[in-house]
Amino acid sequence: MTPARRLLQLLLAWAALGAAASVPALAGTAWPLSALWWLAGAALLAAALVDAWHTLRPPPLRLERQLPGVLPVELWHAVTLTVHNLGTRPLRLDLFDGYPAAWALEGMPHACTVAGGGFASVVYRVKPDQRGNARFSQPHVRVSSPWGLWQRTRRIGPEQTVKVFPDYSRLLGQTLQATERRAPAAGAIRKRRRGEGTDFRQLREYRQGDSLRSIDWKATARQRKPIAREYQEERDQQVVFLLDCGRRMLARDHDGADRSSHFDHALQAVLTLGFVAQKQGDSVGLMTFGGASAGAGGRWLAPAKGRAGFDRLLAGVYDVQPDETAPDYTQAAGALMNKLSKRAFVVLITNLRDEDDQAMRSACELLGTRHMVLCASLREQALDRAVAAPVAGFQDALRQPAAMLYLQQRREAIRRLGLRANALVDVAPGQLSAALIGRYLEIKESGQL
């Protein structure tokens, strides 16, 4: 409980009266100022004690918080606090919600007066800074005493946990951009084209331009006119991500306004390709490795089809974060081999270093015995900028050859992996989504899987 401004002002006035009472010229007046000072002091003390007594009692308040249970990251969201006055007299309040401390905030604190038996609603905005679970603690409510001499702060209302997901609208935008760059007329998802793929779709009349190999001679003999087989891109296949959650993925390029880590870019690419794959009729799954946040054995999401499969993928990775753990590629490959029996398109996403060549090669060879493997490595843009930057001083002269040497060693490590060009993607983090979608669509069209 703290004194309010009104009590401080009254104390200041009382002190001024005491100073006046100490002046000899005023001491002998008809009504001595000293007596008035004592009387005013007693009245002020009694009023302060009575007002404090009312302040000690819990206020008749009930608070409610309204916000979605799932919030996209890096977007502003409205939160509504509703305070109900269950008493008969009006209450003067200052509200401050217990929002997650690292989030951006607008509209708090808020002062209001709630009539007896009434309510007041306060709307403010927050912006989550990262994915995962976030906790709203009880709001802070500072209540003024009936006479406004005291204020007391209490914690009233609910605690609440919300889930912060990746921005789904950004995922859809990346999907559209990546697919339109590859086939501008196709729209967001690659449309089926006549005669492509390896899955039989239907029989139809032969058309000019069809391949002679597509003619079904038995149907042609029965119908006594040329009949061709029509194929479509294969469906009901499996796309499984093997996602590195180790220390390499903590890297950040700090390129302009983009402060996302390599892991955030990798997760965006996983969800973007997962959305495309489920639209193509394929099952989508994921296994993490190299991080402790998902458990010692990594997080495993078995392949599932359709929108439900994609929603399960989104809900299964929203809170995964990288840490300082070193990745073990061979162990991860062996664990995935034990979980997957059907042939799948395995996308291994990591950040390669020159010391990874042997372990990564063993992992890719093991996975390649049963599955089709694509290794996606994120390249640091800071190194590319260091190589391209002009030399303006001694520090630049040291930095540039060091960056060139590092990139050369990295290229040599990638070469020692022995992967074919179409089994490796080495791009900047922001280009990963488009690269993975392009490679996936090539595989679907060619029937390699």
Number of H helices, E strands in the chain: 12, 19
Give me the CATH topology for the region 168-190+234-446.
Rossmann fold (3.40.50)
Statement: residue 88 has pLDDT above 60: yes
Instruction: Collapse the DSSP code of 199 into the 3-class scheme (helix H, G, I; strand E, B; otherwise coil) and give the result.
Output: strand
User: How far is C-alpha 363 from the chain's CA centre?
Assistant: 29
Tell which wins on pLDDT, 44 or 188: 44
- Residue 196 pLDDT level (bands cut at 50, 70, 90): very low
Report DSSP state, residue 255: B
**Average pLDDT for residues 40-68, to the nearest whole number?**
88
Tokens 């001694």, located at residue: 394
Strands in 290-408 per DSSP E:
300-304, 345-350, 372-378
Residue 193 in this model has a pLDDT that exceeds 50: no
pTM: 0.70
| E strands in 290-441 | 300-304, 345-350, 372-378, 424-427
pLDDT confidence bin for 194, thresholds 50/70/90: very low
* More reliable by pLDDT, 202 or 2: 2
Please state the domain extents for the chain: 61-165, 168-190+234-446, 199-232
The answer on pLDDT for 125 being more than 90 is yes
**Of residues 24 and 227, which shows the higher confidence score?**
227
Give CATH for domain 61-165.
2.60.40.10
On the question of pLDDT at 20 being above 70, the answer is: yes
- Phi, psi for residue 223 in degrees, rounded to 5: -85, -15
| Band (96; pLDDT cuts 50, 70, 90) | very high
Nearest to 376, CA basis, from 267, 280, 293, 277: 267
The whole-number average pLDDT for the span 174-190 is 48
Task: Report in angstroms the alpha-carbon separations of 387 from 93, 207, 289.
Answer: 59, 55, 32
**Residue range 225-252: mean pLDDT, rounded:** 81
